[in-house]
Structure 1
Amino acid sequence: MLDTLFKKRLSDEVLAKYFVNGILNTIEQGFNEIKSFLEEDPAFVTPPDLKDARNGHFAMIVIAGNIGELSNTFSPSQQKSLMPVIFNMLADSLGMEEKDFKELYNDYAAFMKRVNYPSKVTLYSMSKGMFHKYGLNEYQENYFKSLNTPNPLFIKRMDEIMKNFLWNWDAFFKRYKVY
């Protein structure tokens, strides 16, 4: 009871700032770990050559996944007020015009939905998105390569790693009050 009295209430702008900065920090800090994991995963016949890989795809997959999860956390009216602030902050942080960023986001969200069909689990779409965007099919054994689908054991391991890049709203709401 007292916990709810002393939680700090956040505006949309402050909430978006925490969310955007948190997501961007995890992307920046986590990409090299992701590359190491991919290069060492036993599902690949030959290790993927990712030494020159950039974090752009990874960043957009994490961003699209986290924005997609907002609908599971906030009401439509809350999303309506929060989303423009988030898009504006992300566009600014990435040095893009907001219109261009929204277009890029929509492209990634549609791509992730397509590669994850018929599932609607965000985590799976993030793992499968990484598989396809970083061209990992060519490093698999022939059976899965011919199907152009990720080895299920790889996806299971990738899911375990990618869940660390989804925003933990439960922990956040224990500390802050949002509306």
Structure 2
Amino acid sequence: MLAIFGRKKITESQVADLFVNHTLDVVDQGWPVVREFIIDSAEFAVAPEIEEEDYGKFLMIILAVNFSYIPKHFEAGVDREIIRKSVERFAQIFDITPEEFAKKLKDYKSFLSRVNHPSSKMRYSVPKGIFFKYHLNTYQEDYFQKLNTPNPIFLKNLDEVTRHFIWDWNSFKEKFKVKELTA
């Protein structure tokens, strides 16, 4: 119910539902744009070959980054409950156990931290994660290929395209107040 002079109150479970459904919708609609951007990128010597159906790695990169921001925007306990419920929902969607999904998520977070080192800003790990998970180095000019590093112009441009996949939790919290429900 919307308060007269306040934010709409929603439960942790509703936050998880919104997060899961919205993220899946945005990735489903946005992946073709990201894929086309990569294929058409002038920074590659040869156009990368990425299958239209191959959005799973992209989805996991986006999920890992978005999950990493939840504890920064919600109180302790509330954040864990939102994460737990979101993990359960994603696991059900992907027909795996919550433990398997949590491990996959942890592996992606770890991978993104490594490829983004020394930066600790997870948002910037998205283009680097895409670069390495989709093996884009093989399509680069010799100079960058030998360095095994992404062309910085490509990274900057891809960051512009992918920044819209990161949840704006500040805006979310301006509209909604999370009320805790005890199980």
Shorter-chain TM-score tier: over 0.9
CA distance in 1, matches of 2:175, 2:93: 25
Q: Deviations over 1:137-175 (max 9, x none)?
A: 011111111111101111101111111100122332232
- Tell me the secondary structure at the aligned position of residue 9 of structure 1: strand
Amino acid across the alignment from 1:66: N
Q: Deviations over 1:20-43 (max 9, x none)?
A: 111111111111111100001111
Deviation at 1:75, TM superposition (A): 2.6
Q: Which runs of 4+ in 1 moved over 6 A?
A: none
CA distance in 1, matches of 2:120, 2:58: 19
Q: Is the 8 A contact 1:45 1:139 kept in 2?
A: yes
- Which structure 2 segments of 5+ residues have no match? none
Q: Deviations over 1:105-150 (max 9, x none)?
A: 1111111111111111111111100000001001111111111110
- Tell me the secondary structure at the aligned position of residue 46 of structure 1: coil
Aligned to 2:153: 153
Aligned to 1:121: 121
Aligned to 2:164: 164
Amino acid across the alignment from 1:98: P
CA distance in 1, matches of 2:55, 2:94: 12
Q: Is the 8 A contact 2:73 2:170 kept in 1?
A: no
Query: What is the TM-score when the length of structure 1 is the normalising length?
Result: 0.93
Identity of aligned residues (%): 33
Amino acid across the alignment from 1:122: M
Deviation at 1:17, TM superposition (A): 0.4
Task: Between 160-169 and 74-83, report the one with greater CA deviation.
Answer: 74-83
Aligned to 1:68: 68
CA distance in 2, matches of 1:60, 1:123: 14
Aligned to 2:132: 132
Q: Deviations over 1:29-86 (max 9, x none)?
A: 1111111000011110111011355111001001101001112212333212221111
Aligned to 1:77: 77
RMSD: 1.7
CA distance in 1, matches of 2:124, 2:81: 28
Q: Is the 8 A contact 2:26 2:165 kept in 1?
A: yes
CA distance in 2, matches of 1:175, 1:72: 17
- Tell me the secondary structure at the aligned position of residue 27 of structure 1: helix
CA distance in 2, matches of 1:20, 1:111: 22
Amino acid across the alignment from 1:155: L
Which residues of 2 match residues 1-179 of structure 1 at below 5 A?
Answer: 5-51=5-51, 54-179=54-179
Q: Is the 8 A contact 1:115 1:125 kept in 2?
A: yes
Task: Between 51-60 and 9-18, report the one with greater CA deviation.
Answer: 51-60
